[in-house]
């Protein structure tokens, strides 16, 4: 009997080995085919000419963009960059632009590249003029038999006698501190191959001392919020009377936050002969009023404001308001996104969601307007480096945040403003990536959904909460996993102790 069983076991093992061998051969064939397909696709990409060259940018900027992995401009960049650089300009040499494009469309580079291109051109001209003047002085000194002149040394800016207000070539106004920081970071990435491009970021919520010290060293570009820019101008440490380019980034958001008077005050101190680039996702009456007052025959650049359905999958669930927090836990366990932003309409809802998620063992942090700047920075750093997997936020984070590879957005509350919904879900599916947006809707929020459907031009896809993994099952699994991990750690420790006891000589 035992011999028979052994024989059967050997046959089963042979069959298993045969199946495994067959599977390995098939898997290798699939892998080889995939590698070949990727190689062909990569070759096609490499052979495609760099689209940024055709936009007329300086070679240094084309190379900087290529180093970041981009060789083809987005739709808004194709349209806006040539115009911003003066294609078809009047006798003043510049064109004012009104630009509308969706979140994640590359609009930041659409205004930064022309600004940097202008600065590089002006620096080249200034350097050439300075060299010519120095050469002239040297020639005159040599003709007279006098010692050759020395190049002027840079004066110590910390000495009050040498103080001069910073006179930037470009001013970029942003609605939030987060967006200002991100714009400044993008400038440094694009200009990292260039020597001494000075960027200073100024905004409220932090002491002015460090910002003033940075301005004392000069600045080519100042990025800031309207209130702090006004403050520094009043203090006499920032002079914007000679800027060449003024950028209003997310102008509609600035107006929503009540910055119209501040923007007006800042713009009135800019020179009349300047270029103004206004970027806005929407065009309320105040934007039109602002454009008519401060822009000269601006050209409109408009790119589709909707997120394509195949890039961002939107799912809608009807959920009673009291059950929403529990359903968020279910969604996170069911879809298991590596990182996600959960949007709420109120700070209290943020706190409630974070409390429940943390109680379920999920790493979650809150981001809303009342946090100090230091706290906001800490939250964003933890979320960006994946120390925290869930960011629960009010709409302070709906714009300006650029988290790489954000897997999912969950709207606990439907926003009454359909445009805000577009910006919320635009945190995911950025660039060529795909994204997932999950929306929880109470009965009284149905009218808001109708507005969103009207704006997007398509009906919502409704699903049942029952299709999600039950919360109780998730909790049990999470506890079981934690228990198993603890047991494994204990066993590993015991084994380590035993091995040490055996190997250690008496």
DSSP string, 264-316: HHHHTTS-SS-EEEEE-SS--HHHHHHHHHH-SSPEEEE---SPPTTTEEEEE
Give the pLDDT of residue 481: 47
Q: How many CB atoms lie within 10 A of CB 265?
A: 16
Give the pLDDT of residue 27: 46
Give the pLDDT of residue 504: 40
Give the pLDDT of residue 45: 44
How is residue 166 annotated by DSSP? B
Beta bridge partner(s), residue 316: 439, 462
Q: Where are the alpha helices (DSSP H) in 145-272?
A: 177-190, 209-216, 226-234, 251-256, 260-267
Give the pLDDT of residue 90: 58
Asked if 242 and 218 count as a contact pair (C-beta separation under 8 A), the reply is no
**Angular region, 258: left φ>0, alpha ψ -120 to 50, beta rest:** left
Nearest residue to 315 via CA among 404, 411, 389, 413: 411
d(CA 26, CA 372): 57
Beta bridge partner(s), residue 248: 173, 278
Assessment of whether the complete model's pTM goes beyond 0.75 = no
**CA 461 vs CA 127, 155, 264, 343, 465: distances in Å:** 60, 65, 43, 19, 13
* Segments in the chain below pLDDT 50: 1-2, 4-5, 7-9, 11-18, 20, 23, 27, 30, 34, 38, 40-42, 44-45, 157-163, 472-482, 484-485, 488, 497-498, 500-506
**CA 488 vs CA 263, 361, 480, 485, 501: distances in Å:** 60, 19, 12, 5, 20
Query: Which single residue is written with the structure tokens 């699939």?
Result: 30
Give the pLDDT of residue 25: 54
- In CATH, which of 3.40.50.10320, 1.10.1270.20, 3.30.710.10, 3.40.50.300 is domain 312-469? 3.40.50.300
Q: What share of the chain is helix, strand, coil (3-state, %, to 5)?
A: 50, 10, 35
For CATH 3.40.50.300, list the domain ranges present in the chain.
Answer: 54-147+164-302, 312-469
Give the pLDDT of residue 139: 87
Determine the Cα angle at 442 with ends 439 and 444, to 5°: 125
Beta bridge partner(s), residue 173: 224, 248
Query: Which single residue is written with the structure tokens 């900027």?
Result: 61
Phi, psi of 220 (to 5 degrees): -85, -35
Beta bridge partner(s), residue 435: 312
Phi, psi of 52 (to 5 degrees): -75, -25
Q: Which fold has domain 54-147+164-302?
A: Rossmann fold (3.40.50)
């Amino acid at each position: 009997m035992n011999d028979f069983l052994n024989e059967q076991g050997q046959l089963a093992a042979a069959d298993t080995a045969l199946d495994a061998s067959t599977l390995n051969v098939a898997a290798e064939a699939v892998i080889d085919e995939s590698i070949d397909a990727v190689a062909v696709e990569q070759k096609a990409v490499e052979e495609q000419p760099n689209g940024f060259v055709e936009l007329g940018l300086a070679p240094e900027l084309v190379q900087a963009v290529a180093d970041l992995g981009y060789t083809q401009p987005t739709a808004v960049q194709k349209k806006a960059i040539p115009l911003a650089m003066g294609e078809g300009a009047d006798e003043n040499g510049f064109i004012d632009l009104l630009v509308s494009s969706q979140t994640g469309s590359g609009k930041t580079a659409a205004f930064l590249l022309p600004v940097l291109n202008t600065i590089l051109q002006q620096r080249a001209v200034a350097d050439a003029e300075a060299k010519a003047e120095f050469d002239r002085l040297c020639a005159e000194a040599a003709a007279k038999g006098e010692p050759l002149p020395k190049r002027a040394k840079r004066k110590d800016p910390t000495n009050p006698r040498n103080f001069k207000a910073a006179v930037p070539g470009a001013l970029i106004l942003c609605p939030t501190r987060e967006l200002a920081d991100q714009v400044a970071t993008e400038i440094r990435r694009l200009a990292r191959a260039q020597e001494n491009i000075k960027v200073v970021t100024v905004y409220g919520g932090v002491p002015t001392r460090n910002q003033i010290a940075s301005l004392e060293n000069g600045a080519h570009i100042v990025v800031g919020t309207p209130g702090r820019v006004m403050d520094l101008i009043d203090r006499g440490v920032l002079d914007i009377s000679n800027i060449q380019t003024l950028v209003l980034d997310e102008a509609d958001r600035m107006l929503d936050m009540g910055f119209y008077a501040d923007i007006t005050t800042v713009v009135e101190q800019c020179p009349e002969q300047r270029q103004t680039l206004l970027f806005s996702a929407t065009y309320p009456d105040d934007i039109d009023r602002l454009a008519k007052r401060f822009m000269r025959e601006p050209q409109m650049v408009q790119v589709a404001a909707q997120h394509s359905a195949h890039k961002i999958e939107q799912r809608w669930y009807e959920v009673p308001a009291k059950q929403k927090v529990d359903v968020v836990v279910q969604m996170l366990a069911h879809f298991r996104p590596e990182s996600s932003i959960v949007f709420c309409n109120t700070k209290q809802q943020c706190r409630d969601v974070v409390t429940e998620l943390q109680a379920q063992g999920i790493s979650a942090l809150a981001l809303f307007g009342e946090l100090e700047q230091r706290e906001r920075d800490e939250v964003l750093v933890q979320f960006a480096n994946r120390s925290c997997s869930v960011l629960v936020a009010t709409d302070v984070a709906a714009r300006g945040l650029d988290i790489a590879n954000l897997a999912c957005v969950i709207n606990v509350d439907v926003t009454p403003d359909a445009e805000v919904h577009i910006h919320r879900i635009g945190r995911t599916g950025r660039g060529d990536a795909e994204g997932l947006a999950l929306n929880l809707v109470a009965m009284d929020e149905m009218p808001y959904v109708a507005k969103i459907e009207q704006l997007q031009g398509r009906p919502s896809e409704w699903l049942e909460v029952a299709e999600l993994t039950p919360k109780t099952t998730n909790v049990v699994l999470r506890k079981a996993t934690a228990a198993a991990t603890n047991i494994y750690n204990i066993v590993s420790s015991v084994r380590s102790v035993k091995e040490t006891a055996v190997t250690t000589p008496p």
